[in-house]
Structure formats: C-alpha cells, structure tokens
C-alpha cells in the first residue's frame, strides 16, 4: 500500500501522517549487494497546503542491514532523515499527478531514501579489512614458521622473469 493523502482534506487544516512502509512498498529490496532494507521505514510527516503547491515535512527512519565493504562483517546502520521536506507543485508543467484527489508520496520518499543509502558501508571508520596471511596470528605448534615463506605467494616471489 502506498503512502497517499487527499488534497480535499488539506482545505480545512494541515494533515499529519504517521506510520510505517515496508521495503516492498518502497521497492527497496534487492538494490545493493552490501545494503539491505529488511525492516519497515517509519515516518512522521506534516502535509501543508500552500497557494499552488503542497509542502510535506517531517522525519523518515529506516534501519539497514549492511555488510562492511572492507571486512564483510555484518552490521546495522540507521538511516534517518530528520528534516525531510518535499515540495509538490499543483499547477504547471511539473505538477504532481493526483488520482481521485489523492497524491502518492511513495516515489518521492523512495528516491530520497535510495540517495541516502551508504555508498561504501563500513562497520567502523578505522576498519582495516580482512587480515592478510602475514597479519594472522601464528597457529599453535608452528614454532614461528609463519611468514612470507609459508604463503602461497612465496613460490611466485622466487620466479625470475
């Protein structure tokens, strides 16, 4: 179900819209390999009619399941647009499409949420990524044999080209 409001209800007073939209309703599933929207997005919005437009302001909040781009460790990140605003023209070339006096806010919310997705999600800013074989701790009983000679690259390093 989309997030809609009726323009006729705005003639008397401002509207308050509060609730949740699922990732399926927002079409946020399968957008990114490292960022997954698996929980509903919460919204708290106020809709106000202006002279020849509608102004929608409020808060959008979505919790994302992410994988770190460096170490592939899973973590959660909250995406919150505290001062979200959308200006919808009612007249002119760029006017919003109203069906039975109802306007759908879903595409506008989806666009701003997708733009706010992390481009390079990191579990923490100082994440060093996956440990290389030289950085891994020695195995018990290895007696200090871990090092460049014990890696798969050691044989390649000996090649003279």
Note the pTM of the prediction, 2 decimals.
Answer: 0.75
Query: pLDDT digits over 38-49, tens only?
Result: 999 999 999 999
Q: Specify the pLDDT at position 130.
A: 78
| Burial label, 135 (beta-carbon count in 10 A; 0-12, 13-18, 19+) | exposed
Distance (Å) of CA 127 to CA 33, 57, 59, 74, 119: 19, 36, 30, 13, 16
Neighbours of 88 (CB within 10 A): 19
Q: Let me know: does 71 contact 129? Beta carbons within 8 Å.
A: yes
Stretches where the chain sits below pLDDT 50 are: 141-142, 144-145, 148
């Amino acid at each position: 179900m989309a997030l809609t409001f009726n323009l006729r209800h705005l003639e008397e007073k401002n509207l308050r819209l509060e609730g949740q939209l699922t990732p399926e309703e927002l079409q946020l599933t399968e957008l990114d390999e490292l960022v997954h929207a698996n929980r509903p997005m919460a919204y708290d919005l106020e809709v106000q009619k202006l002279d020849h437009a509608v102004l929608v302001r409020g808060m959008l909040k979505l919790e994302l399941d992410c994988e770190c781009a460096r170490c592939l460790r899973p973590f959660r990140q909250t995406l919150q647009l505290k001062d979200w605003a959308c200006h919808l023209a009612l007249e002119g070339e760029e006017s919003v499409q109203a069906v039975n006096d109802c306007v759908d806010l879903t595409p506008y919310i989806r666009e701003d949420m997708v733009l706010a997705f992390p481009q390079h999600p990191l579990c923490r800013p100082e994440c060093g990524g996956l440990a290389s074989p030289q950085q891994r701790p020695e195995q018990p009983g290895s007696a200090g044999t871990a090092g460049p000679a014990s890696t798969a690259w050691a044989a390649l390093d000996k090649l003279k080209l």
